[in-house]
Amino acid sequence: MSTHQPSAAKGGKWRAPALFGALAILFILEGTVSNAMFSGHWDNALGILRVGLISAILALGINIQWGYAGLFNAGVVGFLALGGVAPVLVAMPPTEGAFEAGGWGILFAFAVAIVTLVIAVALHQRMTGKARGWVVAGVLVLGFFSYRALFDPAVEAIQAINPAATGYLGGLSLPTLISWPVGMALAAGAAWIVGKTALGLRSDYLAIATLGIGEIIVAVLKNEEWLARGVLNVNGIPRPWPVPYETDLQQDPAFLERMSGLGMDPMVGSTLLVKLLYVMLFVAVLALLLWASQLALNSPWGRMMRAIRDNEVAASAMGKNVTGRHLQIFILGSAVLGLAGAMMISLDGQMTPSSYNPLRYTFLIWVMVIVGGSGNNWGAVLGGLLIWFVWIKAGEWGPLMMGLLSQGLGDGALKEHLLDAAPHMRLVIMGAILLLVLRFSPRGLLPER
Amino acid sequence: MDLLNAFIAVLNYVIVPATAYGAQLALGALGVTLIYGILRFSNFAHGDTMAFGTGLTILVTWGLQAMGVSFGPLPTALLALPFGIALTALFMLGTDRVVYRYYRKVRAAPIYITMVSVGVMFVMNGLTRVLIGVDEIRFADGERFLISAREFKTITGLAEPLAIRSTQAITLVTAGLVVWALFWFLAKTRTGKSMRAYSDNEDLALLSGIDPNKVVMVTWIIAAALATTAGTLYGLDKSFKAFNYFQLLLPIFAAAIVGGLGNPLGAIAGGFVIAYSEVAVTYAWKKVAMYLVPGWTPEGLLQLLSTEYKFAVSFAILIIVLLFKPTGLFKGKSV
């Protein structure tokens, strides 16, 4: 938000390249120098970069919502998790007999639920008088019980199929890449529901509603075993298109030959190649998104969005539909979050719903956007990569520093406690970074022009 | 007899736990609503303030226990509570001085201050983890039951037990006292009146010579007291785990909004609305149905939603209220 920040950024047009250069040096140091601060393994550097790129995409999605329109989405983790369902539904092999057993039942139950809602909404709009509330409530109750009557047996039938290994619907056995747009669509759908109710009201209602939908989506993923096995996790999700498996590479004579030509151990070479391919794939997606976002931001549409953000009253006086535009941009931003979620699950190769922690996947992303510079797409990317690097490394530096600090202490309960607590210090560090940036440099590292 | 058994079952599994939970939510929502009314932002750090205050209270409790101090049949944590409140209030005042004061001065947009509170949330969350760890902690001592299930059965001869844990009774009594004190303070004292005036119309309040710094200071102290009390009662009743307190943020906000943000009475009503719906919707009604309709054994558990979805209940109520009555059941502020 551009409410109170007078000073222009120092460094002018060289600021962005300089900061990205510094970031690159950080990653190069991580890959080459081995000391207390850096690991000196390219494997680690590329590993951090891979997830950093996904974080950058998440930050881009939040920047679309916050930077362009001033919308506070506190449920990033939910949209991310929903996007993560897509690789399971698209790329996993279907469970034999599951669809016949309960798939149709579940679809039918959903149809009943949707019809109920449509009827309820229609009745609510058409009817007047005292009976309206009772009739609508009656329809909803009746619909809910028929939905449960259809849904419960279907779920039971699906979960009964080989529960140790499957017990869920499975997917469509399609290429993993296809799941990425599907993830976008799923997240966009959820965003439509939330946006439709919470937008147009006070600005922090959206924050609270998204906080809620975030928790609920994660709860659904943890508990609905027919969908993605819940806390039992889905393993072995196929990798996206150009990325091979290390074991296949190590058996490929052409690859072995090239490795011996380079004088490299094929084991090390194969892991590096896989990580490098992931990085290239993610960079391609990020570049595409960045290009599209920049285009949108500088188009008349982007100018309109910023006009709405900076003065809603004036913009609506000019005939702009503020709530409608907000809904549009909220859906767009959430779709990007869903894409990142699908990419993350394709990277991990497994769906582990219990790992979706709001501090890590909602509020850390916010730190990235604010630090990088809200309203500036390049800033969001910079913030995503930088904060992810710091977050990972702070997890290692914290105990190290605590060890140094507590060297003077004798062995005892206090020292042990301090060492145990050290990894949590990175939360405090992140909070402090966020507060410092908000206070002293609210426009972030790369301010909006 | 069956009717009585059904009633006791509802009392035991729905009304008693939901009342205690509702009181805890109400105290939390009061803090949120007070900060919203006077400081004019949604405080995302409130859940972690509760965790932080409870963590401090637990540390003091352990200290007292180590010194051999106990509170007879009551939990030692109640003795430690004033210390926890004082420490948390000091921390909040420090936070206000270092963080929030600046944004009041520049009159930043409320959503921007909400963002700032996310930073505070991170810091407090980290500090709580450093202070007391991430594990589940049970710190209730003293008498466990006011009425135990077996006693009740032998006295009444009913098939259904009714157990009232002492922590549930303590929650209600403490919450009642705190709410009474708060409303007395707001209604009768000079400072309380100036707080209400400041909340209603900042400019007019300033014009009539109310000291805004004092109002803000008192608000933070009260918010710290409410959060610590709510957190300690919740921890006594269930258990302390830092992450659960973060998750309480949603039902607490829902309660405050359902009641009408900025309206203390609404926050209390909202807390109970959320708590009763949450427990009623996630309770398995099979047993009660079997008492009420003799000879009928339902196939399922007659549970509307599984307990894992209790947050969905607060969310659904929140959405319904936002759709039909955005200012809440009692008229709240809307900025």
Query: What is the set of domains in chain B, with CATH numbers?
Result: 2-324 (1.10.3470)
What is the arithmetic mean of pLDDT over A49-55? 95
If asked whether residues A335 and A295 sit together in one domain, one would say: yes
pLDDT in tens, A111-124: 999 999 999 989 98
If asked whether residues A43 and A132 sit together in one domain, one would say: no
Interface check for B62 against chain A (CB to CB < 8 A): the answer is no
A60 or B298: which carries more pLDDT confidence? A60
How far apart (Å, rounded) are the C-alpha atoms in residues A88 and A229? Answer: 10
Enumerate the residues of chain B whose CB falls inside 8 A of the CB of residue A367. 122
Enumerate the residues of chain B whose CB falls inside 8 A of the CB of residue A430. 122, 126
Last residue of a domain, one of A118, A139, A169: A169
pLDDT in tens, A408-447: 776 777 777 777 777 888 899 899 999 999 999 988 999 9
Enumerate the residues of chain A whose CB falls inside 8 A of the CB of residue B44. 74, 207
pLDDT bin (cut points 50, 70, 90) of residue A7 is very low
Distance from CA of A238 to the nearest CA of B (A): 30
Distance from CA of A424 to the nearest CA of B (A): 6
Task: Indicate yes or no: CB of A202 within 8 angstroms of CB of B334.
Answer: yes
Q: Provide the pLDDT for residue A418.
A: 76
What's the full length of chain B, in residues? 335
Report the residue of chain B nearest A423, measured CA to CA.
B130
In the DSSP assignment, the letter for residue A231 is: G
Distance from CA of B71 to the nearest CA of A (A): 28
Give the one of B44, B114, B126 whose C-beta lies nearest to A428's C-beta. B126
In a domain, A449, yes or no: no
In a domain, A360, yes or no: yes
Q: Provide the pLDDT for residue A361.
A: 92
Angle, alpha carbons B49-B55-B61 (nearest 5°)? 135
Q: Provide the pLDDT for residue B335.
A: 43
Report the residue of chain B nearest A370, measured CA to CA.
B115
Q: Are B217 and B19 in contact (CB under 8 A)?
A: no
Task: Indicate yes or no: CB of B315 within 8 angstroms of CB of A434.
Answer: no
Task: Indicate yes or no: CB of B118 within 8 angstroms of CB of A366.
Answer: yes
**What b-and-e string marks burial along A251-275, b requiring 16 or more CB atoms within 10 Å of the CB?**
eeeebeeebeeeeeebeebbbbbbb
Task: Report how many helices (DSSP H) and strands (DSSP E) chain A contains, helices first.
Answer: 21, 0
Range of the domain at A128: 96-169
Cβ atoms < 10 Å from Cβ of B243: 17
In the DSSP assignment, the letter for residue A355 is: G
If asked whether residues A157 and A301 sit together in one domain, one would say: no
Which helix (H) or strand (E) covers residue B145, if one does? strand B145-147
In a domain, A5, yes or no: no
pLDDT in tens, A11-24: 678 889 999 999 99
How far apart (Å, rounded) are the C-alpha atoms in residues A180 and A178? Answer: 5
Interface check for B120 against chain A (CB to CB < 8 A): the answer is yes
Give the CB-side neighbour count of residue A357, counting CA atoms within 13 A: 7
How far apart (Å, rounded) are the C-alpha atoms in residues A248 and A217? Answer: 36
Give the one of A220, A363, A421 whose C-beta lies nearest to B129's C-beta. A421
In a domain, A299, yes or no: yes
The number of distinct structural domains making up chain A is 2
Give the one of B114, B127, B250 whose C-beta lies nearest to A215's C-beta. B250
Helix A76-91 vs helix A179-198: angle between axes, to the nearest 10 degrees?
140
Give the CB-side neighbour count of residue A122, counting CA atoms within 13 A: 7
Q: Are A356 and A218 in contact (CB under 8 A)?
A: yes
If asked whether residues A107 and A48 sit together in one domain, one would say: no
DSSP string, A283-305: HHHHHHHHHHHHHHHTSHHHHHH
Report the residue of chain A nearest B122, measured CA to CA.
A431
Residue type, B262: G
If asked whether residues A198 and A282 sit together in one domain, one would say: yes
In a domain, A148, yes or no: yes
Identify the burial level of B14 via C-beta atoms within 10 angstroms of its C-beta, where 0-12 means exposed, 13-18 middle and 19 or more buried.
Answer: middle
Report CA A238 to chain centroid distance, whole Å: 20
Q: Are A371 and A383 in contact (CB under 8 A)?
A: yes
Nearest to B325 by CA among B270, B250, B257: B257
Residue type, B126: G
| Cβ contacts of A160 within 8 Å, gap of 6 or more | A101, A167
Task: Indicate yes or no: CB of B120 within 8 angstroms of CB of A359.
Answer: no
pLDDT in tens, A90-104: 999 888 888 888 888
Enumerate the residues of chain B whose CB falls inside 8 A of the CB of residue A434. 118-119, 122
What's the full length of chain A, in residues? 449
Nearest to B267 by CA among B201, B194, B333: B333
How far apart (Å, rounded) are the C-alpha atoms in residues A292 and A315? Answer: 24
Tell me how far CA of residue A319 lies from CA of A203, A315, A323, in angstroms. 20, 7, 12
Q: Are B30 and B253 in contact (CB under 8 A)?
A: no
Structure tokens given for A264:
């490299």
pLDDT in tens, A275-285: 999 999 999 99
| CA end-to-end span of chain A | 12
pLDDT at A1 over 60: no
Structure tokens given for B39:
């400081």
Q: What is the CA radius of gyration of chain A?
A: 25
Report the residue of chain B nearest A365, measured CA to CA.
B118
Task: Indicate yes or no: CB of A432 within 8 angstroms of CB of B123.
Answer: yes
Long-range contacts of A403-411, Cβ-Cβ distance < 8 Å, separation of 24 or more: none
Q: Are A367 and A360 in contact (CB under 8 A)?
A: no
In a domain, A14, yes or no: no
Enumerate the residues of chain A whose CB falls inside 8 A of the CB of residue B108. 3-4
What is the arithmetic mean of pLDDT over A331-346? 96
If asked whether residues A249 and A329 sit together in one domain, one would say: yes
Nearest to A190 by CA among A353, A73, A106, A293: A73
Q: Provide the pLDDT for residue A328.
A: 94
Cβ atoms < 10 Å from Cβ of A416: 12
Which helix (H) or strand (E) covers residue A234, if one does? none
Long-range contacts of B287-293, Cβ-Cβ distance < 8 Å, separation of 24 or more: B287/B9, B288/B6, B288/B9, B288/B10, B291/B2, B291/B3, B291/B5, B291/B6, B291/B9, B292/B2, B292/B3, B292/B6
In a domain, A239, yes or no: yes
How far apart (Å, rounded) are the C-alpha atoms in residues A256 and B231? Answer: 61
Distance from CA of A431 to the nearest CA of B (A): 4
Task: Indicate yes or no: CB of B250 within 8 angstroms of CB of A421.
Answer: no
If asked whether residues A182 and A264 sit together in one domain, one would say: yes
Report the residue of chain A nearest B300, measured CA to CA.
A152
If asked whether residues A125 and A264 sit together in one domain, one would say: no
If asked whether residues A100 and A90 sit together in one domain, one would say: no
How far apart (Å, rounded) are the C-alpha atoms in residues B178 and B230? Answer: 10
pLDDT in tens, A144-162: 989 988 888 888 888 888 8
Distance from CA of B206 to the nearest CA of A (A): 23
In a domain, A258, yes or no: yes
Q: Provide the pLDDT for residue B160.
A: 83
Task: Indicate yes or no: CB of B133 within 8 angstroms of CB of A420.
Answer: yes
Residue in this structure with the two tokens 């929903």, named with its chain if needed: A82
Distance from CA of B180 to the nearest CA of A (A): 29
Task: Indicate yes or no: CB of B254 within 8 angstroms of CB of A208.
Answer: yes
Angle, alpha carbons A163-A165-A171 (nearest 5°)? 100
DSSP string, A101-124: IIIHHHHHHHHHHHHHHHHHHHHH
How far apart (Å, rounded) are the C-alpha atoms in residues A153 and A419? Answer: 51
Report CA A102 to chain centroid distance, whole Å: 30
Q: Which residues 235-274 of B have a C-beta within 8 angstroms of A?
A: 246-247, 249-250, 253-254, 257
Last residue of a domain, one of A147, A169, A191: A169
How far apart (Å, rounded) are the C-alpha atoms in residues A182 and B6? Answer: 49
Last residue of a domain, one of A169, A194, A217: A169
If asked whether residues A245 and A361 sit together in one domain, one would say: yes
Q: Which residues 205-234 of B have a C-beta within 8 angstroms of A?
A: none
Enumerate the residues of chain B whose CB falls inside 8 A of the CB of residue A209. 315, 318-319, 322
If asked whether residues A272 and A333 sit together in one domain, one would say: yes
Mutate to test the interface with A, among B98, B115, B243 (most CBs of A within 10 A): B115
Task: Indicate yes or no: CB of A438 within 8 angstroms of CB of B119.
Answer: yes
pLDDT averaged per 10 residues in sequence order, chain B, 335 residues? 85 92 96 92 94 96 90 89 96 95 91 93 92 87 83 84 90 94 94 91 89 93 96 94 90 92 91 94 85 78 82 87 83 58
If asked whether residues A80 and A127 sit together in one domain, one would say: no
Give the one of B109, B315, B334 whose C-beta lies nearest to A213's C-beta. B315
Distance from CA of B133 to the nearest CA of A (A): 7
Task: Indicate yes or no: CB of A370 within 8 angstroms of CB of B121.
Answer: no
pLDDT in tens, A25-50: 999 999 888 887 888 888 889 999 99
